[in-house]
Chain A
Amino acid sequence: MSTTEAPPNTGTNGNSGYRWVGTRPVRHDGLDKVAGKARYAADLVLPGMLHGHIVRSPHPHARIISIDTSAAEAMPGVRAVVTGADFREPPPKGADRNLMCTVIARDKVLYTGHAVAAVAASTRREAKAAAEAIDVTYELLPHVLNIANAMADDAPVLHDNMFTRGVEPRPTEPSNVAARTVYERGDVEQGFAEADIVIEREFSTQAVHQGYIEPHACVVDCGQDGKTMIWCSSQGHFKVRSATATVLGWDTSQIKVIPAEIGGGFGGKTTIYIEPVAALLSTKAGRPVKIVMSREDVFRATGPAPGSIIKMKVGARSDGTITTAKAWLAYENGAFQGIAAMLGCMCVVSSYTLDHLYVEGFDVVMNRPVNVAYRAPSAPAAAFATESVVDEIARQLGMDPIDLRLHNCPSQGDPTPYGPKWPVIGLRDCLEAIRDSDHYQSALPSGQGRGVATGFWFNIGEASSATVNLNENGTATVITGSPDIGGSRVSMAIMAAEELGLDVHLIQPVVGDTEVVGFTDVTEGSRATFATGMAVVEACRDLKRQLCGRAAKTWDCDIEQVDWVDGAAVHGPGEHDPLTIAAITAGAKRTGGPLGATASLNARGAGPAFSVQVADVSVDNETGCISVERYTTAQDAGTAIHPSYVEGQMQGGVAQGIGWALNEEYIYTDDGTLENPGFLDYRIPVASDLPMIETIIVEVPNPSHPYGVRGVGEVGIVPPLPTMANAVADATGCRITDLPLSPPRVLREISAQG
């Protein structure tokens, strides 16, 4: 491939004047991935490595009376056994306790699949056999598996020191309600009085799993000096380091975490489960230990995203002006307190300008694995409620659903539902993009239904670091601390190419371990290309100043006379030929030595993300099966650095959202056993379930980022839930308020309608 010709800029802004931003180079890590050479954590083998196996609770709620490991310890190949007693005592409450007790249960197990002990042995089979020989005696406790039961007055309480926060006066009795959150503005009763139409509905969604194809895996090697190496699959290796240190009571500086390629995360790999267990086994055995979760364990013990119950009441005038919204939200937190309901409250009416609102949310614990982030966490269920009710209002008023949303659309300077004012946002642009799309302008085929919906997600900044080194031959290495879960490395290289004026193929982007690059927060909140990209740009700008300085030294002139233009130092007065990066690095020994720059920052000004989507569906009246016939998504990327991977994020989010809407759900038996812990019974969309997913990249640049990046990873999953429900309502006349829209439910609803 030529390294001098830039491919055409195929981003949608077209007018940017960028040479590399908006182009679609082949990703640098791609060849290894298509050749089967990319190294994931489960692929690593170390000399003398043992295999770990974790013993998990068969009960949803039980006190651990005793654990007898003697038989297991005597079995062939067994080198180490650990139980909760081998780990340090957790504090009585708080985030550290929740983490420590998730990694391994102490006095109680809180869900089926909760880790209680672990074995390391020479082979996987020996480890598994020994794990089965560990004898755990439990005293069974009554359990709760859903929001209604967990919130009941006489519910069994998971944590006897959990007193609901956000309630005055402070409750005197413990409960499963961890926290209450309220956002309010104006007077909702006045808002309803001003309304010509009021619609109130109750919605429910089920817990779903992120469904990354690679199960959690790690290899941990603890030296006799306490120095520990961890290779693992994670969205944030600095977080793995700090969390492992917290669980074990170790110093972070004794732990080095080396990120392997990550086989999908979607939020689910923003925490840890197995690394401290492997570390303790490795310490005990004096050998490296690998733990790879089974798919069943992934379902039973990691994730999920929460189920929810949301009551939504919205009032509107006959001209389509929404006068008020009142929402009651309860989200499953799993076994320990989370912030799902709080996030749901912040998101639930974010696509609308409202003078009057009241939003109240409850975070509820129960005997399920603790929630973990899943792509725009909490927003999809919240949007399902709001966007379904708004759709119904549009229908009753006879208004186009996009016109109604445009009529109530917030703009820069309007207050967000959660307090601050909106910065520059692209909701209106996304609505107009869908309205004007070929899809929306095309007549709906006979027998089908069409639905539209919007979605919002905050996006975040946080801490990022980058180092850019120039090599002797004028190429560059870009090292960041952000694990690449969807093509961020090539985006880093593109931004460096743009800054330096260097061909993107001459730049090698690398994800550095915890000892070669500065602290970097987890790849989450759609932040990598935004925040880490900002660090890359800052380091490149430092590097350009250095390059100009080297040119000034070469030319024996003032640095003020040197400009950086198109990848070369240019002498202002024109007395010297330009010096390229390669020319400067070739002579670097004479001008001050190697060139490199580092930037570390706490990124501010993440740009809020909006997406608007439209779907056409057909519903089989005999089976209740829904077919997605056509799907289009518009999303504000700010600026698309690599449009193919922006599209990929948009399409991936839509597919996950369609799965959530149509099929996916955790199904527990009454005794607390997860009935569908595998991909056969927990059915994620396959290729034959989906049409092409048409994408419209909207670019309303984020003024806080040097190239206008907003972050694109998450918001795409938000609209599909209501988009599907609205399309089914259009096709069948049935307003279904419970997900998933699985064939039995849809058949029941359309049959009931007659």
Chain B
Amino acid sequence: MSRTHVRTHVTCEVNGDAVDFLTEDGESLLNALRDELGLTGAKEGCGTGDCGACSIIMDGRLQCSCLIFAPEANGTQITTCEGLATAGELHPLQQCFLEGAALQCGVCTPGFLVAAKVLLDENPDPTETEVRYALAGNLCRCTGYDKIVRSVLDAGVQIRTSAA
């Protein structure tokens, strides 16, 4: 019953916290976030990078954490859905999703919020078409995307207004 798996020590920054964990080389970053750090906001919907439920921001880029090996996270800066809100205040996207009824079952929601944040960070004034293409890597089976797209557009307005 002996084990021979080699475990790698990974150090990175997640949602502003310096963290470290041990992981097997073939393990996905998604599993490391969920199992080692307890950050279960990112979900595994497919494990093949097709659904976007595991979306995270890594060094400023939108990534499917199921497609990244956990050791690759060493030295990186990561933001997950859990890192979007600040103490006592939701991110405008989170608030707009709530008010716009942009979620039903909610399992894709963390991934959509992360993907939408990357979009609005780069372009706070997107067109509907730009929102739709920016979110095309995230699958939602409940909403038909209508209220998600509207909520992202609304959040863009809020962000632009508060920046003005």
Contact = CB atoms under 8 A, between A and B. Distances in A.
Given A27-B101, A686-B145, 12 more contacts: A27-B98, A33-B109, A125-B5, A211-B139, A213-B51, A294-B47, A648-B142, A652-B104, A680-B50, A685-B145, A687-B132, A687-B140
Nearest to A126: B3
B110 A36 contact: yes
A485 interface: yes
Interface stretch (A107-115, A258-266, A611-619): A258-266
A244 B42 CA distance: 30
B1 A687 contact: no
The interface size bin for chain B is: 35 or more
Interface string A207-219: 0001111110000
Nearest to A211: B141
A152 interface: no
A44 B53 CA distance: 17
Nearest to B115: A687
Nearest to B135: A687
B46 to A, nearest CB: 4
B47 A40 contact: no
Nearest to A31: B98
Nearest to A683: B50
B141 A656 contact: yes
16 contacts: A30-B103, A30-B106, A34-B90, A213-B140, A262-B105, A295-B48, A485-B105, A648-B101, A648-B147, A652-B143, A680-B50, A684-B139, A685-B145, A686-B138, A687-B140, A687-B149
A654 B99 CA distance: 22
B62 interface: no
Interface string A78-94: 00000000000000000
Interface stretch (A357-365, A410-418, A688-696): A688-696
B144 A645 contact: no
A261 B98 CA distance: 17
Nearest to A36: B41
A712 interface: no
Nearest to B145: A687
Interface string B5-48: 10000000000000000001010000100110001111111111
A443 interface: no
A216 to B, nearest CB: 12
A688 B133 contact: yes
B45 A295 contact: yes
B45 A215 contact: yes
Contacts of A679: 45-46, 48, 50-51, 139
Interface string B118-159: 000000000011011101111111111111111000000000
A487 interface: yes
A214 B105 contact: yes
A752 interface: no
B45 A76 contact: no
A396 B85 CA distance: 59
**SS class, residues of chain A in contact with chain B:** loop
Nearest to A24: B101
A21 interface: no
B113 interface: yes
B104 A485 contact: yes
Nearest to B152: A687
B162 interface: no
A213 B105 contact: yes
Contacts of B97: 30, 34
A33 B46 CA distance: 19
Interface of B: 1-3, 5, 24, 26, 31, 34-35, 39-48, 50-51, 53, 80-82, 84-85, 90, 94, 97-101, 103-110, 113, 128-129, 131-133, 135-150
Given A215-B44, A295-B45, A77 B3 contact: yes
A693 B3 CA distance: 54
B3 A678 contact: no
A40 B142 contact: no
Contacts of B150: 692
A212 B146 CA distance: 18
Nearest to A32: B106
Contact of A35 (B82, B107, B129): B82
Given A263-B106, A294-B47, A645-B101, A652 B24 contact: no
Which of under 10, 10 to 19, 20 to 34, or 35 or more describes the interface residues of A?
35 or more
Nearest to B35: A45
Interface in A1-41: 24, 26-27, 29-31, 33-40
A266 B141 contact: yes
Contacts of B145: 655, 685-687, 690
Nearest to A292: B44
A34 B103 contact: yes
A152 B50 CA distance: 39
A486 B142 contact: yes
A674 B139 CA distance: 21
B37 to A, nearest CB: 12
A487 B1 contact: no
A89 to B, nearest CB: 34
Interface core residue of B50, B110, B150 (most chain A CB under 10 Å): B50
A692 B105 contact: no
B43 A214 contact: yes
A43 interface: yes
Contacts of A211: 139, 141
Interface in A185-199: none
A98 interface: no
A264 B139 contact: no
Contacts of B24: 125
A164 interface: no
Contacts of B43: 40, 42, 213-214, 263
B84 to A, nearest CB: 8
A704 interface: no
Contacts of A647: 101, 146-147
Contacts of B100: 644
B126 to A, nearest CB: 12
B106 A38 contact: yes
Interface string A276-310: 00000000000000001011000000000000000
